[in-house]
Amino acid sequence: MPLTFSVECFYIVFEDEIHQTIVENNLFKPGDRVAIGASGGKDSTVLAYVLSELNHRHKYCLDLFLLSVDEGITGYRDDSLETVKRNEIQYGLPLKIISYKDLYGWTMDDIVKAIGLKNNCTFCGVFRRQALDRGAALLKVDKIVTGHNADDIAETVLLNILRGDIARLSRCTFITTGEDGPIPRCKPFKYTYEKEILDYFSTECIYSPNAYRGFAREFIKDLERMRPRAILDIIKSGSPQQQGCQSKEHKLCKACVLLDGLNRGLPKLGVGRTKGVAGGDSDCEQQAKRPERSRSSLQGKHGNIDF
């Protein structure tokens, strides 16, 4: 007979498991300034609440901030940012919003007009990672925490296997990444199933239904129905065993290559694997914001696009 919990008991067990994950993995130390990547979705909203509660209950002595990225997606991000603003008031946490428009001179709506729906998630993922780093630097935080859960990590492991990207296979399972960089990132929900993240609302990005990750997500759900431990088993399969090549002979980060392609009217220039390009999280000496352009500067085989 399956074990059942009351709602109140579930909350207690859920929060205790997150606390144990934090303590056992030494995610924080007293006095740390921590930015919570807040999208307004279910994972980051629950993370902000739980981390705020645990910080008070267990006296982590952390300075917590909400950090949001406005990608410029009409009808999606503008609505979810309203949720983040409500969280700012409800949880009493300072909020910093940083936008693609301010950083790069492009919104995701603009980028989709230029690139189409097929590769838009490549641009958004690379730009968002760099935007979080830049926002965190402005807040002068010691760490960034994100709401990536066990399902998300299992999906990433599966995607890296399908793509043959062995170099990233073990790295994507780490609970803390970027420790060799300026601002490490950690995932307190690493062992938390998506279905456990209750009492939330969810909105889906209007540009994401065709994303490759969606197919991996459905496959993992099918596996979980047949074998409940499948998600954790997939994460374990990607744990560190053998490292691939980690060459650092790069000149431009992925974000700058993508941005350069957009500004030159060649939006597909940086899509896919580009030789001599870094992973995308570091800043480059290249100026991030695009120069002023005429209204019809994207020309050629893509036609004229006015913004």
Q: Indicate the annotated binding residues for ATP.
A: 37-39, 43, 69, 147, 152
Beta strand spans in 5-107 (E): 33-37, 63-70, 95-99
**Residues tagged in the binding site annotation:** 37-39, 43, 69, 147, 152
Which segments of 134-217 are extended strands (E)?
143-145, 176-177, 185-186
Side chain identity at 133, as an amino acid letter? D
Residue 59: phi, psi to the nearest 5?
Answer: 55, 55
Tally helices (H) and strands (E) across the chain.
Answer: 10, 6
In the chain, how long is the greatest CA-to-CA distance? 68
Secondary structure string (H, E, C) spanning 246-291: CCCCCCECHHHHHHHHHHCCCCCCCCCCCCCECCCCCCCCCCCCCC
